[in-house]
Amino acid sequence: MQNSEKQIQLMRAMFDAAVKTALPLNCIPAHMPSLPKGRTIIVGAGKASAAMAQVFENNWHAPLEGLVVTRYGHGAICKNIEIVEAAHPVPDGAGTRAAARMLKMLDGLTQDDLIVALISGGGSALLSLPASGISVEDKRAVNKALLKSGAPIGEMNCVRKHLSAIKGGRLAVAAFPARVVTLVISDVPGDDLGSVASGPTVADSTTFAEARQIIAKYEIDVPASVTKHLAEAQDETPKPDDPRLANTKATCIASPQKSLEAAAAIAKASGYEPIILGDAIEGEAREVGIMMAGIAMQAKRFGQPIKTPCAIISGGETTVTVKGNGAGGRNVEFLLSLAIKLGGAEGIHALAGDTDGVDGAREVAGAYITPTSLGEARRLKIDPWASLSKNDAHNFFQSINSQIITGPTLTNVNDFRVILVD
């Protein structure tokens, strides 16, 4: 029986390299904007926003002020930027109050002032300020339903933007005529900056009509206030040609692809030929697991699409349609499906984790599998198929002691997956 310690250590080193590349300390300093004549106000939202604010403040040699909101447990210490912690993925009152205060901070600005928006994944739930006529409870109910629907992140964000008073470019509109510089740590497929945190400072190309279509597509039962707001379709999000966005600029400073490349370099140095399948892979996590198992077995048996030993690397954001009573978690669901399809094949190991340290609603980044994972589960009288059918992969991997627990990483470039084929 193969000793898997070497492979486990290598996969963890690759995951750590992916995270390190996207840390604010390593990507903020090279993108500092020029000093303004007037005030500098920092705003932001996301799981990495507090760490981004701390690094920005440490590299800014002029007065500044501001407010950013991050997930509970993801805070950082700043002198002049207020850090507010709020709930994710389902919004709470702390996030709503912070968003309202953030908008108020932007009253009365001039073209001499500078707004720096520090945005990362998770900001959509954290920066939750419902549009007029929609209660926090109603917006929270829609968000919960979206998370369970299996809708990809782009569709979820389309709906969120059209139920919000601050997303979809509305924060930048509130700052007009000030200069707005947005620094983004991307966690979305294709690095669409309008989708990261639902693009509070970026023009939005989606419409109320599309939001209605998404609600209908996934048969989401929404409150009457939401139905009314979407039907009336007033206060459309600002589009790319909106003159109020003429003095705005958004830059992606860290991305899934850059993190995958950092992990690939670790694999290469360890004698594994890396192949990056893509940084924007979507779909049901369990279906992606089945597909990836097929690629791994092809490499194992025939040396295609790349000769072994190889490291098959991918990123993106899969989805989990929660039908059982488990906690979901797209990375662990992917891994459990992959393990079942591989059936304990020798020489194949895998790791999957969310680079923010939280997979779904659990404070666990992800997990790993070895050729003995299924055997260990069965020794403990745990049925892998039953765990998968209940969307209960987190408890499955906890039982076999193969979870990846990092704590808050203070960045977020979405999911990281690697399959080592010896």
Neighbouring-strand partners of residue 326: none
Q: What's the pLDDT at 90?
A: 82
| pLDDT band at residue 54 under the 50/70/90 scheme | very high
* 319 neighbors 281 (Cβ within 8 angstroms): no
Sheet containing strand 366-369, strands side by side = 273-281, 310-316, 415-421, 348-354, 366-369, 403-404
In the predicted model, what is the mean pLDDT of residues 83-94? 92
Residue type for position 49: S
CB atoms near residue 420 (< 10 Å): 28
**CA distances from residue 197 to 85, 136, 161, 312 in whole angstroms, order as listed:** 16, 18, 10, 29
Q: 233-291 pLDDT, tens per residue? A: 999 999 999 999 999 999 999 999 999 999 999 999 999 999 999 999 989 999 999 99
pTM for this predicted structure: 0.89
Task: Write the pLDDT tens digit of every residue in 20-39.
Answer: 999 999 999 999 999 999 99
* 3-class DSSP assignment, residue 98: helix
Span 5-19+257-421 CATH architecture: 3-Layer(aba) Sandwich (3.40)
Domain ranges of the chain: 5-19+257-421, 25-254
Sign of the alpha-carbon dihedral angle for 56, 57, 59, 63? positive
- More confidently predicted of 360 and 96: 96
Q: What is the pLDDT of residue 2?
A: 65
Identity at 21, one-letter amino acid code: T
Per-residue model confidence (pLDDT) at position 328: 86
CATH code reported for the domain at 25-254: 3.40.50.10180
Q: Three-class SS of residue 276?
A: strand
223-227, 301-305, 372-376: range with lowest mean pLDDT:
301-305
Residue 1 confidence (pLDDT) above 50: no
To the nearest whole number, what is the mean pLDDT of the chain?
95
